[in-house]
């Protein structure tokens, strides 16, 4: 982010975006869309975040497109954050972890999003594998969708909310790296649309992935108000706000650079 600008761009081949680009809702359209985004941005932006569901819906051929996108993006120097939001227990969670965090996997990524709502401890296979291979994990904590509040704002017996508990658990996971003077590898997903979050301690010692900028209504100028002193640890995510400028590669680059500059100016 210091070198390329503070921005994560999603690769979300929605059916509506494929249509807007003049592409078919088929493997050829998916491949053209994905290749265009990767070729335009992978050498320029800090992070690319493919949403795996939009590839999985095309079956094995869609997953093959995703595999190629991950490999090409990482080869071009971008960090790849796989937006999979996996969450399970035991051996199943271990299999999910191996899919995205084992270097032997064709879907090996620099980080993956996970859901902790079977209990934070259920994520242990992913956390341990990420630590072993120098990868990262982003845990859903305070998400931008309105439905998230019924779980994340629920109050536990000790008086803390579930969302606050996720942040505290991440702080504990990052403590060894923080003591060593580096930013931890375990981040939280915290929506940029949530307004004032001063009631939450966002200083988790790791990055904060901030979806919601662009199509969902948040702007880079909102980041200091939402994240306060933790704004420098924010990884702002923009998807449709950039992708809608395709299929012209130069327009995609210009949109990404504009968002990155706006974030840099807002964060100070």
Q: Hunting for tokens 């199943």 — which residue is that? A: 92
Q: Which CATH class is domain 8-267?
A: alpha beta
For 16, other C-beta atoms within 10 Å of its C-beta total 11
Domain parsing of the chain, residue ranges: 8-267
The reported pLDDT for the residue numbered 216 is 82
> Which residues are catalytic, by number?
85
* Burial (0-12, 13-18, 19+ Cβ within 10 Å), 71: middle
pLDDT along the chain (268 residues), means of 10: 95 97 98 98 98 98 98 98 98 98 98 97 98 97 94 96 98 97 97 94 98 89 95 96 97 97 91
The reported pLDDT for the residue numbered 259 is 95
Alpha-carbon distance of 117 to 177, in angstroms, equals 25
pLDDT digits (tens, 9 = 90+) for 32-63: 999 999 999 999 999 999 999 999 999 999 99
Alpha-carbon distance of 237 to 7, in angstroms, equals 6
Identify the H or E element spanning 164: helix 162-179
pTM of the prediction? 0.97
For 92, other C-beta atoms within 10 Å of its C-beta total 13
The reported pLDDT for the residue numbered 157 is 96
pLDDT digits (tens, 9 = 90+) for 232-256: 999 999 999 999 999 999 999 999 9
The reported pLDDT for the residue numbered 125 is 98
Q: Hunting for tokens 């090996």 — which residue is that? A: 108
Structural tokens at position 61: 């051929």
DSSP state letters, 98-133: HHHH-TTSTT--SEEEE--TT-GGGGHHHHHHHHHH
């Amino acid at each position: 982010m210091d070198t390329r600008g503070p921005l994560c761009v999603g690769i979300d081949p929605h059916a509506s975006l494929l249509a807007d680009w003049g592409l078919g809702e088929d493997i050829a359209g998916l491949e053209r869309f994905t290749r265009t985004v990767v070729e335009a941005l992978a050498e320029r932006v800090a992070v690319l975040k493919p949403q795996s569901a939009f590839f999985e819906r095309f079956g094995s051929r869609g997953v093959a497109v995703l595999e190629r996108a991950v490999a090409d993006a990482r080869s071009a120097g971008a960090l790849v954050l796989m937006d999979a939001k996996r969450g399970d227990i035991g051996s199943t969670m271990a299999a999910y972890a191996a899919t995205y965090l084992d270097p032997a996997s064709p879907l090996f990524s620099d980080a993956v999003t996970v859901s902790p709502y079977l209990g934070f401890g259920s994520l242990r296979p992913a956390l341990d594998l990420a630590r072993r291979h120098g990868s990262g994990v982003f845990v859903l904590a305070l998400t931008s969708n309105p439905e998230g509040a019924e779980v994340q704002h629920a109050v536990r017996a000790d008086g803390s909310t579930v969302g606050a508990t996720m942040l505290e658990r991440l702080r504990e996971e990052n403590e060894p790296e923080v003591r060593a003077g580096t930013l931890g590898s375990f981040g939280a997903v915290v929506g940029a649309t949530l307004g004032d979050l001063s009631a939450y301690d966002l200083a988790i010692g790791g990055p904060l992935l901030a979806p919601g900028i662009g199509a969902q209504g948040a702007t880079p100028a909102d980041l200091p108000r939402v994240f306060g002193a933790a704004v420098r640890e924010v990884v702002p995510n923009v998807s449709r706000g950039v992708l809608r400028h395709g299929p012209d590669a130069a327009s995609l680059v210009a949109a990404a650079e504009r968002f990155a500059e706006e974030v840099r100016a807002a964060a100070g």
